[in-house]
Amino acid sequence: MRIAYLSSAYLAPVEYYTKLLEYDKIYVEQHDHYIKQTYRNRCTIAGPDGELALSIPTVKPDTLKCPMKDIRISDHGNWRHLHWNAIESAYNSTPYFEYYKDDFRPFYEKKYEFLADFNEEICQLVCKLIDIQPCIERTSEYKTEFAAEETDFREIIHPKKDFRIADPEFIPHPYYQVFDSKLGFLPNLSIIDLLFNMGPESLLVLTSK
């Protein structure tokens, strides 16, 4: 059995979802020390001018070493409204935005207390829409040593790291993007970029080699 360890992630990139398909068991880390500017609270979408990062504001914890499971979402800056507007502006002309928008909109209307819960529920929705059933559990402790069948991707799938170097087993398969005639193909964006552009064919893209 192949096992992967992943960080919690907000609308994670395509690379992340390939692991959900390729590994028999997934553990999503809850006990790592929270770090900003990672996929834990950030996703990258494509707009008419190129890549756009969306970050969820978090409440500053009482300690510098706060586990991910205890990180609370901040209401600062009306981020839900801003994120949904950005997503709508970027994808309203894609083939499948109208089809899926009512599935995603509630996440930007309901208030969630904990970031890990928000990330988990939106990941469950994406898996349902793509039609995959990964075996996912939250971690019960923080591991530093791994067996031969276990792979640690917690800090490998990272917006500041070049996936070509950090994760050479991930080879992005090009797919239609609404702005590709202007921008060219932008690899490894948030899973919603794939979903809104390709709809039911998203699974074929994720499994292509």
Give the range with max mean pLDDT: 66-70, 195-199, 205-209. 195-199
pLDDT of residue 64: 74
Q: Which amino acid is located at 97 in the chain?
A: F
Other C-beta atoms within 10 Å of 12: how many? 24
Share of the chain above pLDDT 70, in %: 100
Residue 185 has pLDDT above 90, yes or no: yes
Structure confidence at residue 208 as a pLDDT band (50, 70, 90): confident
pLDDT of residue 61: 82
For 8-147, strand residue ranges (E) read 25-29, 42-47, 50-55, 136-138
Query: In this structure, are strands 3-7 and 25-29 parallel, antiparallel, or unpaired?
Result: parallel
Structure tokens at 114: 């904990």
Dist CA 209 CA 207 (whole Å): 6
pLDDT of residue 115: 98
Q: Indicate the domain borders of the chain.
A: 3-207
Residue 5 has pLDDT above 80, yes or no: yes
Q: Which amino acid is located at 192 in the chain?
A: I
For residue 154, the 8-state DSSP code is T
pLDDT in tens, 16-65: 999 999 999 999 999 998 988 899 999 999 998 999 999 999 998 877 78
Query: In this structure, are strands 25-29 and 136-138 parallel, antiparallel, or unpaired?
Result: parallel
Q: Is residue 193 classed exposed, middle or buried when 0-12, 13-18 and 19+ CB atoms within 10 A define those classes? A: buried
pLDDT of residue 106: 98
The pLDDT of 162-173, averaged and rounded, is 96
Query: What letters, b where the CB count within 10 A reaches 16 and e where it falls short, cover 112-125?
Result: bebbbebbbebbee
pLDDT of residue 76: 82
**Average pLDDT of every residue of the chain:** 96
Nearest to 56 by CA among 190, 153, 162: 190
**Three-class DSSP category at 42:** strand
**Three-class DSSP category at 189:** coil
Dist CA 129 CA 17 (whole Å): 12
pLDDT in tens, 81-132: 999 999 999 999 999 999 999 999 999 999 999 999 999 999 999 999 999 9
